[in-house]
Chain A
Amino acid sequence: MTNWLSSAAQRGEAIHDWLAPRRQASLRLLQESQWPTRKTEAWKYVPINVWERAELSTAVASNIEAEPIEGLNSFDIVIRDGQLQADTLAAAWPEGLQVLPLASAEAARLDWAQATFAQVKPERHLFGLVNDVLATDGLIIDVADGARIERPLRIVNIVNGGSEAHARVLVRVGSGAKVSIVEHYVGNQLSQSTGFAEYSIGTDAELEHYRFALQSGEAMHIGGSHFDLAERATLTSNLVAFGSRLSRVDMDINHKGEGAKALLNAIYLLDGKELFDLHSNIEHAVANGTSEENVRGIVADNSRAVFNGRIHIHRHAQKTLAELNNRNLLLSDRAEINTKPELEIYADDVRCAHGATVAEIDKKAMYYLQSRGIEREQAQIMLNFGFINELVDDMPNAVLAEWLRPQLRQRFAAMEVK
């Protein structure tokens, strides 16, 4: 155990809130954990030592404000440096929706929250354990059975320079309920944060989910969104990530009830010296599940992307349909992509496939555009857009897609094709 880990465990021991009994198991696992090395499969391509070595200076005043997204009409809830900003909670919520600070007396009375905490997220994730042990604040969202919540909930997680922050989100989507939740992470100065969200999606329920991992610069973030799907539940999840000094997201989808459907679309766009690591894991524990995962990445300059996408079909998960594809564009000879799609299959009557490609921008397409009088830079932006556009277009919420486009354009304009 390194200093950082043992300090985290020590700080965790001192926490005695309503979740303390639930944190015990994680604390024990954390105490037994080793700091990852190059030989640790889950951290193989990530120089995790930058986390350990980071020296956080005293917190600087925030320069990031949570701007509303025009036209989205969302409930915006702000978590700043791991602390829920209570004044951003609405005075009144629509019928069937309950939103509580994690650190509240009412939250402590919710049996389902007790039962869900640290149960959806797999225990193998080291920083998930850190979050289990240290996240004392965050958000609890409960959507009652049958409730259809029209307005999206947007959780803006801001981490300022110099801070270490751990926040947790617990969500229950009741049977037949429907809700749209946006996890929006920002921060651009040297900081360390973990942000984990656990979702329990009930029978016939629908969750539209977004995770915008838009930390940049020196902001180090490790987090994950984890989903349990009951019978016939539907999940549509969209991840958009920019890299930072260290950024890692884990997405876990667990098919616990038969006939559930999951779609995960992910985009990562890296430039400069950025690093982004996406680990996804889809567990088909029961029969008749469907999952589709599309991951596209563009990696420029000196940046590095890691993708590890696992599909695990258990013995009794017959009639599963599972597909995963990962396509990457490598724009520079100093950039690097490490991708590993994995299939682990123990049932025979299933249809599974995965694919991965790595290539550069199509030179012929570039030539074609330039020969039609389009500037090289413009042509490059067009081709980059073309590569990921499908996934942006597929976002169920058109307002969010529109909001993203100028940001993506800005990223592409900064990227240089060698």
Chain B
Amino acid sequence: MTEQIDRALQREYSAGFVSNIESETFAPGLDEDVIRRISAMKNEPEWMLEWRLKAYRGWLEMEEPTWAHVHYPKINYQDISYYSAPKSMKDKPKSLDEVDPELLATYEKLGIPLLEQQMLAGVAVDAVFDSVSVVTTFREKLAEAGVIFCPISEAIEKYPELVKQYLGSVVPQRDNYFAALNCAVFTDGSFVYIPKGTRCPMELSTYFRINEQNTGQFERTLIIAEEGSYVSYLEGCTAPQRDENQLHAAVVELVALDGAEIKYSTVQNWYPGDENGKGGIYNFVTKRGICHNDAKISWTQVETGSAVTWKYPSCILKGDNSIGEFYSVALTRGMQQADTGTKMIHLGKNTRSTIISKGISAGRSNNSYRGLVRMNSSATGARNYTQCDSLLIGDQCGAHTFPYVESRNPSAIVEHEATTSKVSDEQMFLCQQRGLDPEKAVSMIVNGFCKEVFKELPMEFAVEAGKLLEISLEGSVG
């Protein structure tokens, strides 16, 4: 068994390659000048620059959080380059044909079906290669429906009023250390606007990819769903292999106005580092949504990558009868560390939230669920149900649960349950007895363990997630 585990641990990261695209990259370092340059590169209006500087000044006064159950060497923020753009972007491509073939080949290697496959699948992709959005397809079809789906830098130019109104309204500039940093230096990301009463005609999807060495990625995503609208957004990512740790501090803000619904799904498969924990991505993400009356936000995530994950997609249930959901599968192996969970802040009457979290730890990894459910005194009739299950594979890993429950309303009901177990000998025996090899058996058991979350994913993502888990678990039979 140990051999099998070793083999799994040594498995090459299949997305680990660096493509040779010349990039225009800022020298490492961060000060107000860098922010001014970023803002200038992006042709941003004055208010945007001020907004960034305010965040930066806030960030300078803040301290890096240490409460998470993760350990990593101190990050030198002056060693990071805060801007990198593929050079071929200088004169923006008018169509896909003009896109750097090597870039397209990179996506091809990753199996991202940017062209025909995407068309068949009916998915519009705003692919982010390092910091600049390279290409956006299906723009017209979306435009017909009145949906805006574009890089956030473009939104700042074209829809300044919308951006001004909502940017930072859910995650303010000084929200936390990493969010403040993001506010100061974010270079790109996606902007989505769904007009009143519109059901977005297709699933929107962004593939993130970190490529340039030593570049932090600071994505900013803002999704606004107007009254009674619906959108499903997919986020997936993978990064090439390298030695130095990379910082990723993204911010995602969701605004669901009255009766709107946003479904946000993530498959995260960034480079987790080698078997000794060398390299790998630091994924310090702030994701938060606000629900107005009768609105619903649903976060679904499958986290298998990154060396260190610090991520708590949250819902502020401000409106009456609003709904928040969080479905998560987090798998850690090797030396990975994940501290992830959610916050459900109940403010409105009859608000409801569901949290289903499945943590799987293998190798020498540590996997923590950290969550907060708060029932404010105004949350009459609110309801929460939380279930956190952990599965341990091997005796060198750790599984932890840190749920906070705060209730100030007697009519609110909060239920929290957590269990920890391992793949039992009985289960293995039963499967093997029926002719499954140990690896298949574990894969099947783990898939069953995660079923409740997978069924929340859009179909194509569910397939990908299942496959990802299977690959990640190869040989980790204990």
Contacts and interface: CB of A to CB of B under 8 A. Distances in A.
Interface in B53-76: 67
Question: Is chain A's binding surface mostly helix, strand, loop or mixed?
Answer: strand
A343 B400 contact: yes
Most chain A Cβ neighbours within 10 Å, of B406, B418, B419, B420: B420
Name the residue among A318, A347, A348, A350 with the largest chain B CB count within 10 angstroms.
Answer: A348
A74 interface: no
Q: Which of B407, B414, B418 has the most CB of A within 10 A?
A: B407
Given A356-B416, A358-B414, A345 B399 contact: yes
Nearest to B390: A345
A356 B395 contact: no
Interface string A333-352: 11111111111111111111
A344 B398 contact: yes
Given A353-B420, A357-B415, A337 B400 contact: no
B478 A348 contact: yes
Contacts of A351: 420-421
Interface in A34-70: 41
B85 interface: no
A344 B339 CA distance: 12
A347 B395 contact: yes
B478 A335 contact: no
Contacts of B375: 358
Interface stretch (A4-12, A13-21, A324-332, A404-412): A324-332
Which residue among B406, B410, B421, B422 has the maximum number of chain A CB atoms within 10 Å of its CB? B410
A360 B414 contact: no
Interface string B390-434: 101111111111111111111111111111111000000000000
B398 A345 contact: yes
Given A330-B410, A335-B408, A348-B394, A356 B403 contact: yes
Interface residues of B, number: 36
Nearest to A360: B410
B25 interface: no
Contact of B403 (A328, A331, A341): A341
A416 to B, nearest CB: 11
A335 B420 CA distance: 32
Contacts of B390: 343, 345
Given A318-B395, A343-B401, A345-B398, A333 B377 contact: yes
Contact of B420 (A336, A337, A345, A358): A345
Contacts of A354: 401, 416-418
A343 B400 CA distance: 5
A359 interface: yes
Nearest to B417: A355
Contacts of B414: 356-359
A352 B390 CA distance: 10
A355 B405 CA distance: 11
**In the complex, the 4 A-B pairs of residues with the closest C-beta atoms, listed nearest first:** A348-B392, A360-B410, A358-B407, A330-B410
Interface of A: 41, 315, 318, 328, 330-360, 418
Given A337-B407, A337-B408, A343-B420, 15 more contacts: A41-B67, A333-B411, A335-B410, A337-B406, A338-B407, A339-B404, A339-B405, A340-B402, A347-B395, A353-B419, A354-B416, A355-B415, A355-B417, A357-B413, A359-B413
